[in-house]
Amino acid sequence: MQAVTFLTLTFLFSLTGIETYRRIKNHDARFLRWRHKPYPLPQRCTADCTGSIPNLHRYVISNPRGDLPRYSIHIVLNHAVMALTFAVAAATGLPLFFHNAECSHKIIAWLGGISTTRLVHRINAALFSLNCLYHVVVLVLGTARRIYRGTFDLRRTQMPRWKDVCDLYHDLRYFLGFAASRPRMEKFMYRQKLLYFAMIWGVSVLTLSGCCLLFPEIMVRYLPFTQTLFNVLRLMHGEESLLAVLVILLWHLLDVHGTPGRFPVQWTFWNGKISKDHQIEEHFLEYERQVREGVVVGEEEKLSRGDEAGGT
């Protein structure tokens, strides 16, 4: 498990490091987002010119707090509860798992003793599971509503597609200096889908292994678990938790809030909105759809009229 953790973090850090270096070198963003200033437009475009300006995100004015809708209030609330319950689970669970460590003794004592720590961890685990169920309900009902209205589009979901593999390949070419611009990606790019399905795996393992710890007799009696599998699941509860904490703290937060153009904070988690430059750079195909749907006026059209750096 330690090898998996090391290899996973090495890959993610390498990808983030290459991206950070190239985005600064290619003038895609300044490190501090409030210092971002649009670059002069190198060319003009004619009518119906959406997508005609390469690297359009470099030339538009964006609101750091977000310009375009991205997530519904349900997803924002779901993410907030997930973050809170995950933090509590880690703060109470890791000291119990690594109970031989001296710092664990201090944390458990500060939390009120081992009985209180266990109780808080179990109540929080129930809330965590209910929040995951809430997420599933939101996805199912939202998908059903879109299918009923005839607006469902698989490309706007988290479902993996071959295009994600192609986007990763072309993105690496851009970050390594072999391409002039990034690929035009969907509402959810390959990196977000990778994290999402990693989260599904982690939640599944933590829930199942947690049940093995909390209800061992029931799990062994009514489920086809061998003794070996049962012990492996119990061990994985702590190991998977540690991996999840490391990925969230050392990669997810850095990737979302610490990369050039996003630092010091990206407000999507708070208001469900995304800035125009971010949408155009990493989710251009979704930007095109929003232009066609009338959600936003195409930045190319503004620039062609000579509006100030694509502003309103």
Residue 200 lies in a domain: yes
**The pLDDT of residue 137 is above 70:** yes
Q: 51 falls in which pLDDT band (50, 70, 90)?
A: low
- Please tell me which of 22-31, 61-70, 227-236, 258-267 the model is most confident about, judged by mean pLDDT: 61-70
Q: What is the mean pLDDT of residues 261-278?
A: 88
Q: 57 falls in which pLDDT band (50, 70, 90)?
A: confident
| Residue located via tokens 């509503």 | 145
pTM of the predicted structure, to 2 decimals: 0.86
Produce one character per residue of 125-162: b if its CB has 16 or more CB atoms within 10 Å, e if not.
beebbebbeebeeeeeeeeeeeeeeeeeeeebbeeeee
Residue 102 lies in a domain: no
Residue 84 lies in a domain: no
Work out the percent of the chain whose per-residue pLDDT is above 70: 84
**The pLDDT of residue 47 is above 50:** no
Residue 277 has, within 13 A of its CA and on its CB side, a CA count of 27
What is the 3-state composition of the chain as percent helix, strand, coil, each rounded to the nearest 5? 70, 0, 30
The pLDDT value given to residue 309? 45
Nearest to 284 by CA among 60, 25, 12, 34: 60
The distance of Cα 162 from the centroid of its chain, to the nearest Å, equals: 20
Q: Which residues is 274 bridged to in the sheet? A: 68
If you count them, how many residues does the chain have?
312
The pLDDT value given to residue 308? 47
Of the given ranges (59-68, 104-113, 129-138), which has the lowest mean pLDDT? 59-68
**The pLDDT of residue 106 is above 50:** yes
**The pLDDT of residue 31 is above 60:** no
Produce one character per residue of 23-41: b if its CB has 16 or more CB atoms within 10 Å, e if not.
beebebbebebeebebeeb
**The pLDDT of residue 66 is above 90:** no
The three-class DSSP label of residue 69 is strand
Number of domains within the chain: 1
pLDDT digits (tens, 9 = 90+) for 147-195: 999 999 999 999 999 999 999 999 989 888 898 889 999 999 998 998 8
Of the given ranges (13-22, 68-77, 247-256), which has the lowest mean pLDDT? 13-22
Residue 88 lies in a domain: no
Residue 277 lies in a domain: yes
First to last CA, the chain: 52
Read off the CATH number of the domain in which 36 is found: 1.20.950
The pLDDT value given to residue 76? 96
The pLDDT value given to residue 303? 60
Residue 59 lies in a domain: yes
Q: Which residues contact 201 (CB under 8 A, 6 or more apart)?
A: none
Domain ranges, residue 214: 2-70+153-310
pLDDT digits (tens, 9 = 90+) for 271-286: 999 988 889 989 999 9
User: Given the DSSP bridges, would you call strands 68-69 and 273-274 parallel, antiparallel or unpaired?
Assistant: antiparallel
Residue 76 lies in a domain: no
Work out the percent of the chain whose per-residue pLDDT is above 90: 42
Nearest to 251 by CA among 1, 16, 5, 7: 16
Q: What is the mean pLDDT of residues 254-261?
A: 80
Residue 253 lies in a domain: yes
Long-range contacts of 224-227 (CB under 8 A, 24+ apart): none
